[in-house]
Amino acid sequence: MYRVSAGSEQQFLHLLERHWPTLDRAGLVTSKRPTVLRATDRHGRVAFLELFQWKDETSAHAAHISSDVSEIWRPIGELTENMEFFEVEEVSIN
């Protein structure tokens, strides 16, 4: 989850468009394209949720040492007030 700084939404989205393709070229994610959701809280603050699947358990670490990924992550960090990372799993409910 990326909480985007006010006025930075378009710049952020431009970078986010390049995020998954960069991870994909590095062989770090599955072929399933990401789901990106835009959320606004009751105070009008914008956050984006990006859901994608790492290829395996070593991929997140490999992304941290990739210069190509760093070229995306660094400016994303500059455009956000906060980032949170979650491991999620699908839950079936009846």
Structural domains of the chain ordered from first start: 2-83 (3.30.70.100)
pLDDT at 87: 87
User: Residues of the chain with pLDDT > 90: what percent?
Assistant: 90
DSSP result, 20-38: HHHHHHTT-B-SSPPEEEE
Structure confidence at residue 94 as a pLDDT band (50, 70, 90): confident
Would you tell me the crossing angle of helices 9-25 and 67-78 to the nearest 10 degrees? 160
- Non-local (6+) Cβ contacts of 70 within 8 A are none
pTM over 0.75: yes
β partners of residue 54:
29
Asked if 57 and 63 count as a contact pair (C-beta separation under 8 A), the reply is: no
